[in-house]
Amino acid sequence: MSCRAGVIKEAVDGLLLLDKPSGPTSHDLVASVRRLSGSPKAGHTGTLDPMASGLLIILVGKATKLAPFVPGDPKVYEGCILLGLSTDSMDIEGEVIAEGTYDGGPERAQAALASLVGVVEQVPPMFSAVKYRGKPLYRYARRGEEVPRQSRTVRVYRSEMRAFRVRGTHAEMDFLIECSPGTYVRDLAARVGDGLGCGGTLSRLRRMGSGPFGVEDAMSVEEMRELAVKGRDYLLPLERAVEGCKRVDVAESGLIAVRNGSPLGGSMLRRVDAEVMEGDAVAVFAGGELIGMHRVSQVSPFISHALRMM
Q: Is 42 exposed, middle or buried (0-12, 13-18, 19+ CB in 10 A)?
A: buried
Looking at 13, 49, 91, 217, which residue is catalytic?
A: 49
Q: Which of 154, 193, 192 is nearest to 73 (CA)?
A: 154
- Number of Cβ within 10 Å of residue 125's Cβ equals 20
Residue 198, CA distances (Å) to 69, 82, 100, 170, 248 in order: 41, 10, 5, 9, 53
Helix axes 105-114, 185-195, angle to 10 degrees: 130
DSSP lists the bridge partners of residue 248 as 272, 284
What is the distance between the alpha carbons of residues 258 and 293, in angstroms, rounded to a whole number?
Answer: 11
The residues near 209 (Cβ < 8 Å, ≥ 6 apart) are 55, 74, 75, 76, 215
- Number of Cβ within 10 Å of residue 121's Cβ equals 8
Total residues belonging to the chain: 310
The residues near 75 (Cβ < 8 Å, ≥ 6 apart) are 46, 178, 179, 180, 181, 183, 207, 209, 210
Q: Which of 29, 86, 74 is nearest to 52 (CA)?
A: 29
Q: Is the bond leading into 301 cis (omega within 30 degrees of zero)? A: yes
Annotation marks residue 49 as catalytic: yes
- CB 182, CB 128: distance < 8 Å: no
Catalytic positions, written as ranges? 49
